[in-house]
Homo-oligomer: A and B are copies of this chain.
Amino acid sequence: MSSSLSTEEKIKAAAKQVFISKGFSGCTSRELAKASGMNVALVNYYFRSKNKLFQLIFQTVMEEFFESMVSVFSSDLPLKEKLKFLIEREYAFLTKHPEIPRFIINELSRKDTDLIELTHVLPVIYNTGVIEQAIEAQKKGEMRRVDMVGITLLVISNCQYPFLAKPLIKNLHKLSDEQYQQHLELHKGMVSEMIISYLFPAAPKPNKK
């Protein structure tokens, strides 16, 4: 399969899979090579070192990760709809790439790695105008006064964690993959309703204090 790709692309694609599912320290150069059908020397011929290859992959994954998020923020929708849409999109993305949150969290907490800069992604989100939209809604008293960090945490906690904790919850409650999938679908609805009704209280509740 995918023999139309160049050697370099094949290695990159295979390495991405391996790195995401086993982490940097969880795999070897030879495993990376074998996964793409190549040999060790070839991997280093194209990417210099395991670490260089990893940095490249990590960068790529991070961009994919924020891509769909930004696209939602850029859309022409009222804030409340953006949020609903965002949650929907996140669940869709994570259903396709359930291992990515663990990968990102893990590799970002490694102390021995060349620290990875994420400086460029926040400005991109700010430029979508979603912040002004939120401030506006808060001024009008439609939205609870929660800062950007709080909203971010609220949304991604409830989207990502159910995927992160799949092995834990499956093990704990003795669920099959299918059963867990059903729970996820159910949970998505709950989370959406809960977050929306928290951030946009039905009764026009001006923030006290």
Task: Please report A residues at the B interface, Cβ cutoff 8 Å.
Answer: 21, 23, 25-26, 99, 102, 104-106, 108-111, 116-119, 121-122, 146, 148-150, 152-154, 156-158, 160-162, 164-169, 171-175, 183, 186-187, 190-191, 193-195, 197-198
Contact = CB atoms under 8 A, between A and B. Distances in A.
A102 to B, nearest CB: 6
Contacts of A102: 105-106, 109
B105 A150 contact: no
Q: Which of A105, A158, A191: most chain B Cβ within 10 A? A: A105
Nearest to A104: B168
B109 A150 contact: no
15 contacts: A21-B111, A23-B23, A105-B164, A105-B167, A108-B167, A118-B171, A122-B173, A149-B169, A152-B169, A154-B158, A157-B157, A161-B164, A193-B198, A194-B195, A194-B198
A102 B164 CA distance: 9
B172 A153 contact: no
Given A25-B26, A146-B190, A109 B198 contact: no
A201 to B, nearest CB: 9
Q: How many copies does the complex hold?
A: 2
Given A102-B105, A165-B105, A171-B108, A149 B183 contact: yes
Given A157-B157, A157-B158, A161-B160, A171 B116 contact: yes
A171 B172 CA distance: 32
A149 B17 CA distance: 30
Given A25-B23, A25-B26, A102-B106, A165 B171 contact: no
B153 A161 contact: yes
Contacts of A146: 190
A148 B122 CA distance: 36
A200 to B, nearest CB: 12
A165 to B, nearest CB: 6
A165 B194 contact: no
Contacts of A175: 149
